Amino acid sequence: MITRRKVVAGIGAASACFIASAAQPTRAAGESLPAVTLHKDPNCDCCTEWGKHIQAAGFEVHAIQSKSVKALKDTLGVPKDLAGCHTAIVDGYVIEGHVPPDALLRLLKERPEAIGLAVAGMPMGSPGMGGTPEEYDVTLFTRTSRQSFGRYRASTRIG
């Protein structure tokens, strides 16, 4: 006999299955993040420190020491006014400058049509930079446009 208790239990079980399936992460359990190839000047310590921040977020970082990072930026389509001190490539995207790990993870989750993300200059307190943290923008850019991808202080998104 079907009782009210059985109907409620069935609805609850179905709801739990639906909620569990909707909450699945975008990556399978145990699946690692894509590797980050970091192109940097061999004499730049903040680039190395940025790589450590990205590594701490779960990325494998492969650093390539290069005296011609500027030429790479030009080839990859990084706008001159968005140039930082290092350039990274991850899963087809260009990551320019001191982009925080949170923004990189969001980029890979949302997968927008873009060349990549940039933090112009070298903001104090951004990932890899020392000093008192100041606010800075992360910019999503294409060959013809750009838009804000978030405002940050240190590694924390504030807007």
Three-class secondary structure assignment of the chain? CCCHHHHHHHHHHHHHHHHHHHCCCCCCCCCCCCCEEEEECCCCHHHHHHHHHHHHCCCCEEEEECCCHHHHHHHHCCCHHHCCCCEEEECCEEEECCCCHHHHHHHHHHCCCCCEEECCCCCCCCCCCCCCCCEEEEEEECCCCEEEEEEEECCEECC
Residue 24 lies in a domain: no
pLDDT at 74: 95
CATH code, domain with 51: 3.40.30.10
Give the number of domains in the chain: 1
Domain-located, residue 141: yes
> Tell me, what's the pLDDT at 30?
57
Q: Say what the pTM is.
A: 0.80
pLDDT at site 67: 87
pLDDT given at position 133: 97
Asked if residue 124 is part of any domain, the answer here is: yes
**Structural domain that includes position 149:** 32-157
Whether residue 83 lies inside any domain: the answer is yes
Residue at 113 is within a domain: yes
Q: What is the mean pLDDT of the chain?
A: 85
pLDDT value of residue 19: 30
How does pLDDT run across 69-93, given as a tens digit for each residue? Answer: 999 999 999 999 999 989 999 999 9
